[in-house]
Amino acid sequence: MGEILGAVVLAGDHSKLEPIWLAKPIMILAEGDESKDGQVVIDEKQGKFVKILENVDPEAHYDLFAKQLTVKKQSAVVGSFGEQRRIWGVPPN
């Protein structure tokens, strides 16, 4: 779900989402433990400050995402890889 939300926020007109961004100090765990490695944790002492998306308008997010699903040039709609390559080769209007 986070990847879909991120794609909508970064790729679309996210002003309608009314995003709330906060700067928080985070750290990525890398302790050699597969169950913990890669986890993102808030670390007030040693973390690096990054902007974190704290909240969005869920109805606006749903509307933007649903509109993206209707775009005919989405690769999931295209019938073959060759056809997709031809579409990618044409500059956008």
pLDDT digits (tens, 9 = 90+) for 38-67: 999 999 999 999 998 888 888 888 888 888
The larger pLDDT score, comparing residue 61 to residue 2, is at 61
User: Chain-wide mean pLDDT for the chain?
Assistant: 81
Q: Domain spans of the chain?
A: 2-88
3-class DSSP state for residue 50? Answer: strand
β-pair partners for 40 = 28
The larger pLDDT score, comparing residue 9 to residue 34, is at 34
Q: List, in order, residues 6 or more apart from 26 with CB less than 8 Å away.
A: 40, 41, 42, 43, 47, 48, 49, 50, 52
DSSP symbols for 22-41: EEEEEEE--SS-TTTTT-EE
Percent of the chain with pLDDT over 90: 27
Percent of the chain with pLDDT over 70: 83
Q: What is the pTM of this model?
A: 0.53
